[in-house]
């Protein structure tokens, strides 16, 4: 169970973009991202199409095709990616359930605000370039296994 309202598509967008960044200019195929992240290819395509539509990715078709970043990785924050999928985050929200604001505050005190601020701050300050070294290790390991 998780209290964080991230969907699979959000996670795919973040992990996919980190792998694409790690692959550099030569790009990476959706199939390879699918195999590494063990996700559904159809779901992945939908997420990648959306990221391309919003100008974050370039795609090349064909046997050597794939996805590459259309912006520098250090200019892409995680909050941009999450909001493309889920819509704008509400930072001012009293708590996480509508119509029951008074009791929510009593049940959870300031915890909701604190954790919301903490998570939004993480998403705003973390860039895809911060995740690239970790993703590069995973990609290199995968490529080594594939060559064997």
Partner 1 sequence: MTKILDISEATSIAFHGIVLVAISQVAINANDIAEITNASKHHTSKVMQRLVKHGLIGSTRGPSGGFYLKKKPEDILLIDILEAIEGKVELTPCPIDNEICPFGSCLMGGICNEISEKMINHLKSNTLADILKNVSEDFKLDTLTIK
Binding mask 89-128 for partner 1 (x = CB under 8 A): xx--x-xxx-xx-xxx-xxxx-xx--xx-xxx-x---x--
Q: Contact at 8 Å (CB) between 71 and 127?
A: no
* Cβ 20 to partner 1 shortest distance, Å: 13
State residue 54 phi and psi, 5-degree precision.
-90, 10
Task: Report the site for partner 1 in 8-47 (rule: CB under 8 A).
Answer: 8, 11, 14-15, 18, 36-38
Q: Which among 24-32, 52-60, 65-73, 82-90 is the span making contact with partner 1, rule CB under 8 A?
A: 82-90
- Tokens 């980190």, located at residue: 18
* Cβ 138 to partner 1 shortest distance, Å: 5
Q: What is the 3-state secondary structure (H, E, C) of 99-143?
A: CCHHHHHHHHCCHHHHHHHHHHHHHHHCEHHHHHHHHHHHHHHHH
Residues in contact with partner 1 by the rule CB under 8 A:
1-8, 11, 14-15, 18, 36-38, 78, 83, 86-90, 93, 95-97, 99-100, 102-104, 106-109, 111-112, 115-116, 118-120, 122, 126, 131, 134-135, 138
């Amino acid at each position: 169970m998780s209290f964080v309202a991230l969907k699979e598509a959000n996670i795919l967008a973040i992990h996919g973009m980190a792998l694409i960044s790690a692959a550099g200019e030569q790009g990476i195929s959706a199939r390879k991202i699918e195999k590494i992240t063990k996700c559904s290819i159809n779901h992945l395509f939908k997420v990648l199409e959306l990221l391309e539509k919003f100008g974050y990715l370039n795609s090349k078709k064909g046997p050597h095709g794939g996805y590459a970043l259309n912006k520098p990785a250090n200019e892409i924050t995680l909050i941009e990616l999450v909001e493309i999928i889920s819509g704008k985050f509400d930072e001012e929200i009293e708590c996480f359930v509508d119509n029951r604001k008074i009791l929510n505050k009593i049940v959870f005190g300031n915890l909701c605000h604190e954790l919301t601020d903490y998570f939004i701050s993480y998403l705003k300050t973390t860039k895809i370039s911060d995740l690239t070294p970790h993703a590069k290790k995973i990609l290199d390991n995968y490529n080594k296994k594939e060559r064997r």
